[in-house]
Amino acid sequence: MKFFINKENLLFAIQSVQRAVSQKSPLPILTGIKFSCEEDKLVLSATDFEISVRCAVPATVEESGSLVIPARYITEFARRLPDSIIEFEAGPDSTMAVIRYGDSEFNINGYDASEFPSFVIPEEEFSFKLDADLFKEIIKQVTFAVSTEESRPVFTGVFFEIVAGRLTIVATDTFRLALRHTAINEETPELINVIVPGKTLNELARTADPKSIVEVIIGKTHAAFITGEIQIIARLIPGKFPSYRQVIPNQFISEIKIPLKDFLESAERVALLAGENNLLVSLYIRENHVVLNMRSETGWIREEIKSEVNGDKLEISFNVRYLCDVLRSINYEQLVVRFTGPLTPALIIPEDNKDYLSILVPARLSRE
């Protein structure tokens, strides 16, 4: 194996795949990144068996070949390389990579690439395409609600439901729920529903070029996301996602229309006072304004926001970090927040977009 590549392309490829590198595997080879070169491309691959990422970048290849290089070292080393052409070389029977840059040289032991897991696009059950900028927006709007508790794997994923040319994406950790609809061009003869790991979608949002197209391939046990020169394969999460339709409220006692910018800025200022033992912000719904109030060991804050209010006056409390997560995920100017009661979920929707909603479960104050 012998190729030449500039630092920018090398670093882009490494950073595109590095988060798929296994951190806990007893197999040392999975802690590495597979380097493969042929024709005019360098292809990097990494996997932890749950997610696999592959990225191809231009390179000048003199001898094709493959080698697995420890990710920990090559990632940090690549960041510190000079902005010049980098030469990689490894003999056909050698697992030693020689990296030359200018008048300097770095030698690092790797692993035999033949022992690295193969990268296989799943056999297609159904596929569709979306503009990457739209897909990235959808991911941002729902993945904040994904659970981080591995003991409940279904909630660490994002539910994909496809029927009659419409894709619905849902995430929930049982304290909040986010849902987004979008139309797709492809028709499916039957209902398709799968659970994709949230980690995979966040990786897609991080690496996808907004100007590209994302092709989604859904198989029986895996899903693939292909955008530009990056391919991501994820193992689907088995299990049944909860019936999200049953938790969407349809009767309300109060409603506010409020500017997103004002609401988010106030919530973020309130969150500055939050501590580990006090995360609750109280919302007071009044005749023509909303008051956000928090007291903590650090101090006290009161934020008043003008809004259009319809219905009953109300006092309700939320985890302020959850509230900020919801508001940061929305990119519309005006919000509608509908309340079902002081201790029951609130529905948050953009005023000008009926394809998105989020639900936030209130918290009980200690005095209750």
Q: Tell me the per-residue pLDDT of 159-185, one tens digit each, with 9 for 90 and over.
A: 999 998 999 999 999 999 999 999 998
Read off the pLDDT of residues 20-44 as tens digits, 9 standing for 90 and up.
998 878 899 999 999 999 899 999 9
Mean pLDDT of the chain: 94
CA distance 233 to 49: 9
Alpha carbons 258 and 269: distance in angstroms, whole number: 17
How confident is the model at residue 365, as a pLDDT? 60
List of long-range contacts for 23-30, beta carbons under 8 Å, 24+ apart: 23/48, 25/49, 28/111, 29/68, 29/111, 29/115, 29/116, 30/117
Residue 247 has pLDDT above 60, yes or no: yes
CATH number of the domain at 126-245, out of 3.10.150.10, 1.10.10.10, 3.40.640.10, 3.50.50.60?
Answer: 3.10.150.10
What's the pLDDT score for residue 368? 41
Judge whether 126-245 and 250-360 match in fold. Answer: yes
Say what percent of the chain tops pLDDT 70: 99
Which CATH topology does 250-360 take? Answer: DNA Polymerase III; Chain A, domain 2 (3.10.150)
Distance between CA 157 and CA 107 in Å, rounded?
40
pLDDT above 50 for 335: yes
pLDDT of residue 367: 47
Q: Which residue has the tokens 């029986």?
A: 220
366 — pLDDT class (breaks 50, 70, 90): low
Write down the CATH number for the domain with range 2-115. Answer: 3.10.150.10
Taking 70 as the threshold, does the pLDDT of residue 266 lie above it? yes
Beta-strand runs (E) in 132-274: 157-163, 166-172, 176-183, 192-197, 213-218, 222-227, 230-235, 254-259
Q: What are phi and psi of 309, to 5 degrees?
A: -120, 130
Instruction: Assess whether pLDDT exceeds 50 at residue 277.
Output: yes
Q: What percent of the chain has pLDDT over 90?
A: 86
Helices (H), 252-293: 260-271
Per-residue pLDDT of 82-117, as tens digits, reads 999 999 999 888 999 999 999 999 999 999 999 999
Rounded to the nearest 5°, which phi and psi values hold at 145? -90, 0
pLDDT tens, residue by residue, 187-236: 777 889 999 999 999 999 999 999 999 999 999 999 999 999 999 999 99
**Is the pLDDT confidence value at 278 over 90?**
no
Q: Where are the domains of the chain?
A: 2-115, 126-245, 250-360
* Residue 276, φ and ψ in degrees, nearest 5: -65, -30
For residues 248-253, give the mean pLDDT. 95
pLDDT at 333 over 80: yes
Parallel/antiparallel/unpaired status of strands 334-339 and 289-295: unpaired
